[in-house]
Amino acid sequence: MKEKIKVFLDSDLLEKYLLGTTNEMESLQVERYIAMYPEVRDTYAELQDNLEAYAKLHAIKSPDGLKDRIMARIKSERSGRKQFFRYAIAASFVALMSIGASYFFWNQNQNLQAENSMVSNKIKVLEANMKQQLEDVRNQFIVLNNPQTKKYNVNGNKKAKELKAVAYINPVKKLSYINVKNLPNLPEDQCFQLWAEVNGEMVNLGIIEELTDKENLFALPYGEKAVGYITIEPKGGNLNPTVDNIVANISY
Amino acid, res. 181: K
Residues 93 and 157 in one domain: no
Last residue within a domain, chosen from 100, 127, 145:
145
Query: The pTM is what?
Result: 0.45
Q: Please give the Cα distance from 108 to 33 (Å, whole number).
A: 44
DSSP state of 200: T
Residues 247 and 177 in one domain: yes
Residues 215 and 233 in one domain: yes
The confidence score (pLDDT) of residue 210 equals 60
**186: how many CB neighbours lie within 10 A of its CB?**
14
Residues 44 and 98 in one domain: no
Residues 211 and 172 in one domain: yes
Last residue within a domain, chosen from 95, 115, 145:
145
Q: Average pLDDT by consecutive 10-residue portion of the chain (252 residues)?
A: 80 84 88 88 86 65 60 60 54 58 67 72 72 72 79 86 86 82 88 86 81 66 80 90 89 69
The number of domains in the chain is 3
Last residue within a domain, chosen from 39, 57, 75:
57
Residues 139 and 194 in one domain: no
Residues 183 and 237 in one domain: yes
Distance from first CA to last CA of the chain, Å, rounded?
71
Per the structure, the complete domain to which residue 48 belongs is given by 2-57
Sheet (strand 150-155) strand order: 150-155, 164-170, 175-182, 218-220
Using an 8 Å Cβ cutoff, are 224 and 208 in contact?
no
Strands 201-207 and 150-155: unpaired
Residues 178 and 228 in one domain: yes
